[in-house]
Chain A
Amino acid sequence: MATRQTQGLARLMRAPAIILLFVWMIVPLCMTLYYSFLNYNLLNPGMTSWAGWFNYQYFYTDPAFFEAIRNTLVLVLGVLLITVVGGIAIAMLIDKPIWGQGVVRILVISPFFVMPPVAALIWKNMIMHPSYGVLADVARFLGTSPVDWFAQYPLTSIILIVAWQWLPFATLILLTSLQSLDTEQMEAAEMDGAPAYARFLYLVLPHMARAITVVILIQTIFLLGIYAEILVTTNGGPGTASTNLTFLIYRAARLNFDIGGAAAGGIIAVVLANLIAIFLMRAVGKNLD
């Protein structure tokens, strides 16, 4: 791409893909923006009229809205905390040469291959169910009364399920990073008199900083849109205790058939996601160089 001619040609060749991507993004965004200013209900699709800021006002004054934002943040941060800390711990464990390493690694990674609704159903009916879940059996064995997870700790239960699903992803990324750590550096630190915790703190963690950043950024993108697990288990309840922003929009669109209101919620979600993205890039993006 040295000469001006080849540069021009390269731009021309790239153009179709870039234009397609741009259109794919901008058309739905503009349509959503347009709908968010309409009174548009699927129960009465003929009666569409201009609503101005009413949809936004409606969302803003809905007490469920702020709880949904809070739930979204708690869900994202909770899952990130569990997966990053747990991922580092598991990665360091399976990095050690052990017997049956291949099988152990496949087992560790397998939850990632289970589809979200299936995983949620397994947790709901076989693990957390108050009468025939495994945890209930354990509670009875210990002589305490079983916990009704989805009624008593709805958001915590969902965080656990989602963390279980994303732990393999974090482990995998952190493991590859761990394996690229220079062994001579670790030996040098050992000779320098650094005990295991110091080697972890001063060598392993800084080395994994970039991988941790990648895990946080990628997971945040997906965790902001968690939906299937909530639908299958708590359905956003009790009340709105486990409703996040995505689920609130779903409720507006598919339960109330309020396209205008859902579109306004969608736009708010887009703005929120971008705010978080900017904040994240400021906070941890410098690790990516």
Chain B
Amino acid sequence: MGQITLQGVTKRFGEIEVIPPLDLTIEDGEFVVFVGPSGCGKSTLLRLIAGLEDVSDGRILIDGQDATEASPAKRGLAMVFQSYALYPHMSVRKNIAFPMKMAGVPKAEQDRRIEAAAKALNLTNYLDRRPGQLSGGQRQRVAIGRAIVREPAAFLFDEPLSNLDAALRVGMRLEISELHNRLKTTMIYVTHDQVEAMTMADKIVVLQAGRIEQVGSPLDLYHSPRNVFVAGFIGSPRMNLFGGAAAAEYGAQTIGVRPEHIRISATEGKWRGRVGVSEHLGSDSFFYVEDTGLADTITVRSTGEVDLHHGDTVWLTPDEGKIHRFDKNGDRI
């Protein structure tokens, strides 16, 4: 079991309110990702759930039990830290055994769980090494192993992949998703990378300045962002946002069109512009179109091979059904 409920949770550091009162329910077995720009309070929120910070107001319920005042150890949650936080003078085996040793798990049971975790995480050959002798990806797996053996109610991940290189990050992303499918345990994952959020989450929580901007499945957020911030944050490359006359035409303060919902043509279309930088990836091509009079640049994604070059005049046509409209408060119309 691992249902976590936040009721009016607030965090203040002195006079500064970093998290205004916030309500959120995380269902048992869900993979929830907190995403937002740096400094949005997502790590603080995770530390509040973990019990590493005291809440200033509100309540945290774990499986219906009030855990607001419970010590971190008593909450039955396991955390994987950004720096991995392995114990440097202990072998991998002792690192993984540490939480069980503290909980007084019998030695035979400890060994059984260590073997199982090591097998699941490909660490069997490294059990007697020290963390200093492992690569970044292996250390990450040890940190996850140390969390798994506790059989926690929920896993908390604090930007676990940000110290890894790009190739390893993709691999670990798949491993963590696979782990979630196998264990079916609640996972809360904090990241600033919206690609990680989109690929891994059952439910994404978009945060800005401590406030929840939107909660929903990745595709909900992609198809119907609730406001301009979410629209600009989710999706890669970013959504094109522009105001002025073009928006007024659709009866909105701001409109947004995703790069993949704009057709580009050399001969005809709605908006005229000039091709700036173009990136050809084979499967896709990205064009950064300038001088449209709508925004500095408009990003356009086109599939296949389009024969356009720097400086060419082009015409852009948005897919009318895929235009997002926002009012003057930035909320979706």
Interface residues of A (CB under 8 A from B): 182, 184-185, 187-195, 198, 202-203, 206-207, 209
Q: Is the interface of A mostly helix, strand, loop or mixed?
A: helix
Q: B98 near A187 (CB under 8 angstroms)?
A: no
Known: A185-B87, A206-B89. A191 touches B79 (CB 8 A): yes
Pick from B70-78, B231-239, B292-300 the stretch touching chain A. Answer: B70-78
Q: Give complex CA distance A35, B43 in Å.
A: 72
Give chain B residues whose Cβ lies under 8 Å from the Cβ of A206: 87, 89
Partner of B73, one of A184, A185, A192: A192
Distance in angstroms from B159 CB to nearest chain A CB is 12
Q: Is the interface of B mostly helix, strand, loop or mixed?
A: loop
Q: A193 near B99 (CB under 8 angstroms)?
A: yes
Partner of A189, one of B50, B89, B98: B98
Query: Knowing that A184-B81, A190-B73 are A-B contacts, what are 8 other residue pairs whose CB atoms are under 8 Å apart, sorted by A's residue number?
Result: A185-B86, A185-B88, A187-B81, A192-B98, A192-B102, A194-B102, A198-B102, A202-B87
Q: Give complex CA distance A185, B77 in Å.
A: 16
Q: B99 near A192 (CB under 8 angstroms)?
A: yes
Please give me the residue from chain B that is nearest to A186 by CB atom: B85
Q: Give complex CA distance A206, B146 in Å.
A: 20
B52 lies within 8 A of chain A by Cβ: yes
Most A Cβ at <10 Å: residue of B52, B85, B103:
B85
Known: A191-B52, A193-B103. A184 touches B85 (CB 8 A): yes
Please give me the residue from chain B that is nearest to A185 by CB atom: B85
User: What 3 A-B pairs are tightest by C-beta distance, nearest first?
Assistant: A193-B73, A188-B85, A192-B99
Q: B98 near A202 (CB under 8 angstroms)?
A: yes
> A-facing mask of B189-216, CB < 8 A → 1, else 0?
0000000000000000000000000000
B150 lies within 8 A of chain A by Cβ: yes
Distance in angstroms from B54 CB to nearest chain A CB is 13
Most B Cβ at <10 Å: residue of A187, A191, A198, A209:
A191
Q: B81 near A188 (CB under 8 angstroms)?
A: yes
B44 lies within 8 A of chain A by Cβ: no
Q: Give complex CA distance A195, B73 in Å.
A: 9
